[in-house]
Each structure stands twice: as C-alpha cells, then as structure tokens.
Amino acid sequence: MKIAVSSTGPTLNDRVDPRFGRCAYFVVVDTDDMSYEAFDNESIALGGGAGIQSAQFVANQGVQGVITGNCGPNAVQTLSASHVKVYVGQSGTVRDVMERFRKGEIKSTSTPNVTSHYGMGGGAGMGRGMGRGMRATGTRGSAPAAPTPSSSRDTELKQLKEQADEMRQKLEQIEASINTLENK
C-alpha cells in the first residue's frame, strides 16, 4: 500500500508538515517495505486551490492514503472523490507516523480539521529560488487563531510546541549554513 505524507523535507527522518496543500514535500511510502519517493510540492505557492491541486497530485501517484497534520475541506473532498483515505492530526517524523500507521494506531477521517485557506498565512510561497540547494525554512502557513471543533486545546498546544521546536532546529541549520558560507 502506498501512503503520501506531507513533509518538511524529502526523507523519512523529516518532520510531518502540518499543512497538506502547502507542505514542502510529499513523501510517498510503500507500507510493505518502507521504501519511499519524495516529491516537491509544486502547489506550495499557488494563490488559491493548493489543497485541491495537492490532492490531485498525490491521487495521481496511486496512493491509498494521506497522512498530514491538517487538511481543509476542498482537499478532503478531492481526496475522498479519488478514494484516498485521509489521516489528520499527525506530527513527528515521517518514519514515526508510518510506524503508527502500520500498527493500526492512526484512524482515517472523512471530515476536514481546518477551514478553507488555512495554510495561506504570512510567508506563503517562501522556499523557492534560494540557490546552492537550500530551501527557505520559514513557515508558509500560520497557526490557527482558535482550536477547531475537532481538536482539543492540548492537541493544539502540543502541535504549536512541536512547530516551535522545528523552527528552532531550522534556524540552527540556517545559521550553520551561513557560517559555513561566510568562512569559505
């Protein structure tokens, strides 16, 4: 079975990107042997319709499921129409969520867990054209203003803390790259 995971990077050790339509990468994992293929999300900088375009892209990869942090109504509808199951509210590394999936610990949903245009907050479209193989690591979305009906305060707090940790790690990576380039 093939599962697409929204990811901040192209490997199993990268974090699950909390945004489906505007994630940085899709890591498509074969659940039988954990082999995978990574794809840049070309819909990341779209002005609108990123969820629909992303859903169509992963469905065209022949996946049977999508694992992500958040998924809006248009993406959920498009994925459902393609008979692709949706697993939301996930965090950790791609490897972690795939292990939970393989153990049957993740349940699918037929309803979105965020509103339309959730991932269009400040910084949308960052991440292209930096040269030297680097990607911008700033967030392309924004945290929800208030918990959605399907998420509890504790879940939201946990996700925000994980996002803050990821941002700290990314900032350290950027600073290390800057230092390396300055010292050449």
Question: Model's pTM, two decimal places?
Answer: 0.63
- Burial class from Cβ neighbours inside 10 Å (0-12, 13-18, 19+) for residue 25 reads buried
Domain spans of the chain, in order of start: 2-182
CATH of 2-182, one of 3.30.420.130, 3.30.420.10, 3.40.470.10, 1.10.760.10: 3.30.420.130
The pLDDT profile of the chain, 184 residues, written as one tens digit per residue, is 999 999 999 999 999 998 898 899 999 999 999 999 999 988 877 777 778 889 999 999 999 999 999 888 888 898 999 999 999 989 999 999 999 999 999 998 877 766 554 444 433 333 333 222 323 333 233 333 333 444 456 666 776 777 777 777 777 777 777 877 888 7
b/e sequence 139-178, b meaning 16+ C-beta within 10 Å: bbbeebeeeeeebeeeeeeebeebbeebeeebeeeeeeee
